[in-house]
Amino acid sequence: MMGEIKENIISPKQPYFVMTTSHYYKAVIMNYGISHFYCFTKEDIIERQFIAVPDGCVDILFCCDDKAPYAHICGTVLRPTLTHNNENKYFFGVRFLPGSPFKFENITMSELVENEIPFLEVIKDNELFEKITSSRDFNYQIQVFLERYIKLYANLNEVNKYKDLKKYMLNSITQTAGKIKINELAEATGYSVRYINKTFSKEFGLSPKVFCKLMRFQYLLSILNELDKDMLESNLAQISMELGYYDQSHMIKDFHEFTNTTPKMYIKALKEAEYKKRIIII
């Protein structure tokens, strides 16, 4: 049966969100099933496109526009996807951690994958929508959202019968950077491979195999975000081995599948955009 495993939560990244704006504000939570809140303005003077990459997460994205505000619940993409490319619009977002216990009424997690659903069709809370979309105060928007959400979160944690198994599977995958095999999860938990696949797909909206692939990609993003371009060539082979790719070519192929670019070109783009200077942690 399941043994103890230290919790290790991945911090999901959307680097192209950051590179489309001069200032990307981020409030890290890492609690209540939330990774972080963020806000930015998509500026027309920056020509880069607003692209989402796979992260295994669900976001709620509010476009706070005076004339035409809207909000969408956005599931993870499985390939680089152009999204919400509205110039000079202010956005406020909530990024939930992979496998967040927050569920949406009448929508399964698998239905959210590569899909966006209008917020008010699912969460019929016009007051919350209006308070958030009529404001440009990041701290106020966070406060308003958390006041409503934390009560829901407490109830969800109480009723989720898969909570312990789900937590164990997620922690096992994140601690191994997605390298763990499904039969290893089955053996460690005492459940069958079929049951693991069925439960995981229900809770995460993805098969464990696909989810592991996305988490490995997210770990690779984290490494590349800290790696200097001049160090890349000498480190690619070691990185690919540590992350469990067959070889360096396999890693580059997977990275290209999820970003439409290579690790080398990605690091070049980070440097040109002065990526770290754009992120403001509050």
Q: What is the pLDDT of residues 3-28, one digit of tens each?
A: 444 445 578 999 999 998 889 999 99
Sort 204 into a burial class: Cβ within 10 Å, 0-12 / 13-18 / 19+: buried
Question: The pTM is what?
Answer: 0.90
Per-residue pLDDT tens digits for 49-82: 789 999 999 999 999 998 999 999 999 999 999 8
**Residue 3's pLDDT is what?**
45
pLDDT number for residue 5: 41
Confidence of residue 161 (pLDDT cuts 50, 70, 90): low
The predicted model gives 221-228 an average pLDDT of 87
Q: Please tell me the predicted confidence (pLDDT) of residue 9.
A: 59
pLDDT at site 2:
45
In a domain, 3, yes or no: no
pLDDT of 116 above 90: yes
Q: What is the mean pLDDT of the chain?
A: 88
Last residue of some domain: 110, 144, 159?
159
Same domain membership, residue 148 and residue 180:
no
Nearest to 76 by CA among 119, 121, 13: 13
Residues 208 and 192 in one domain: yes
Do 22 and 152 reside in the same domain of the chain?
yes
20 and 155 in one domain? yes
Q: Residue 201 maps to which CATH number?
A: 1.10.10.60
Q: Domain boundary at 126, 159, 192, which?
A: 159
As to burial, measured by CB atoms within 10 angstroms (0-12 exposed, 13-18 middle, 19+ buried), residue 159 is exposed
In contact, 249 and 215? CB cutoff 8 Å: no
**Tokens encoding 264:** 């080398």
Residue 7 lies in a domain: no
Instruction: Please indicate, yes or no, whether residues 167 and 204 belong to a single structural domain of this protein.
Output: yes
Please provide the DSSP assignment of the chain as one string. --------------HHHHTTSS-EEEEEEEETTEEEEEEEEE-TT-----EE---S--EEEEE--SSS-EEEEEPPPSS-EE----TTEEEEEEEEPTT-S--BTTB-HHHHTT-EEEHHHHS--HHHHHHHHT---HHHHHHHHHHHHHHHHHHHHHH-TTHHHHHHHHHHHHHTTT---HHHHHHHHT--HHHHHHHHHHHHSS-HHHHHHHHHHHHHHHHHHT--HHHHHHHHHHHHHHTT-SSHHHHHHHHHHHHSS-HHHHHHHHHHHTHHHHEEE-
Give the HSE-up count for residue 231: Cα atoms under 13 Å, Cβ half-sphere: 9
Q: Based on the fold, state whether residues 35 and 142 are members of the same structural domain.
A: yes
* Ramachandran category for residue 106: left, alpha or beta (phi over 0 → left; psi -120 to 50 → alpha): left
* Domains in the chain, number: 2
Identify the domain containing residue 266 by its residue range.
163-281
Asked if residue 50 lies in contact with residue 20, where contact means CB atoms within 8 angstroms, the answer is: yes
